[in-house]
Chain A
Amino acid sequence: EAGVAQSPRYKIIEKRQSVAFWCNPISGHATLYWYQQILGQGPKLLIQFQNNGVVDDSQLPKDRFSAERLKGVDSTLKIQPAKLEDSAVYLCASSPQETQYFGPGTRLLVL
């Protein structure tokens, strides 16, 4: 069974630029999550989708971050404009029920 796919794997941008990340969840998984993991910390939930609806985006910095999950499958996470403190790994996870399965992540460096 194919796992959660993410792209790109790495991205380097300058502050104030914009960036987008893509996630393709495991087929049939209704729930999709985006996490931010800063070096030395655990993953922090940014947004949770159930099909194409947002369940929880309370920790998403909405002034610069946005996410969508059109058609309830793939999802994109965008940062505009990026700040230095956005340097982190952005993890996508999907879930059919209780267990979450993570993708390999996108490592973002903001200079």
Chain B
Amino acid sequence: RKEVEQDPGPFNVPEGATVAFNCTYSNSASQSFFWYRQDCRKEPKLLMSVYSSGNEDGRFTAQLNRASQYISLLIRDSKLSDSATYLCVVGSTGTASKLTFGTGTRLQVTL
């Protein structure tokens, strides 16, 4: 079983749609959780950290369920510029430490 599992997609959605990505992780001792965004042929960039209480940043909402070892990302009112690969990332401790990346979920937003 992979340490971090994601559906690779692609998810093709029209502009304005709401789309949700899910991710599961295998290590119950994992301490930190993130979503990174990676544009084609570019480096990954932090989109947001994920907390047990859930957190929101504009159109983006992230949720963590430690009991189910499950992380989600919801994007509302999709924009063309949201087209990218979204990487689910799990860290082994609470500070800068070993991060394990999922394969990524590719999103394509269309007109």
Give the interface of A toward B (CB within 8 A).
31, 40-45, 48, 56, 91, 95-105
Q: Is the CB of A42 within 8 A of B87?
A: yes
Q: Is the CB of A96 within 8 A of B99?
A: no
B1 within 8 Å of A by Cβ? no
Give the interface of B toward A (CB within 8 A).
4, 8, 32, 42-46, 49, 87, 91, 94-96, 98-104
**9 contacting pairs across A/B (C-beta < 8 A):** A41-B103, A42-B4, A42-B87, A42-B101, A91-B43, A91-B44, A99-B96, A100-B46, A102-B45
The residue in B45, B96, B103 that gathers the most chain A C-beta atoms within 10 A of its C-beta is: B96
CA distance A41 to B106 in the complex (A): 11
Q: Answer whether A43 and B101 are a contact pair too, CB < 8 Å, given A95-B96, A97-B96.
A: yes
Question: For residue B94, which residues in chain A have a CB less than 8 angstroms away from its CB?
Answer: 98
Q: Answer whether A100 and B96 are a contact pair too, CB < 8 Å, given A42-B87, A42-B103, A43-B101.
A: yes
Question: For residue B42, which residues in chain A have a CB less than 8 angstroms away from its CB?
Answer: 104
CA distance A31 to B102 in the complex (A): 22
Q: Is the CB of A40 within 8 A of B103?
A: yes
CA distance A41 to B88 in the complex (A): 12
Cβ-closest 9 pairs across A and B: A42-B101, A102-B43, A95-B96, A31-B96, A43-B101, A42-B103, A42-B102, A102-B44, A99-B46
Q: Is the CB of A97 within 8 A of B95?
A: yes
Q: Is the CB of B98 within 8 A of A48?
A: yes
A-B contact sample (8 more), CB < 8 A, given A45-B100, A98-B32: A31-B96, A40-B8, A41-B104, A48-B98, A95-B96, A98-B49, A100-B96, A103-B43
Question: For residue A31, which residues in chain B have a CB less than 8 angstroms away from its CB?
Answer: 96
Question: For residue B45, which residues in chain A have a CB less than 8 angstroms away from its CB?
Answer: 102
Question: For residue B43, which residues in chain A have a CB less than 8 angstroms away from its CB?
Answer: 91, 102-105
CA distance A92 to B94 in the complex (A): 21
Question: For residue A42, which residues in chain B have a CB less than 8 angstroms away from its CB?
Answer: 4, 87, 101-104
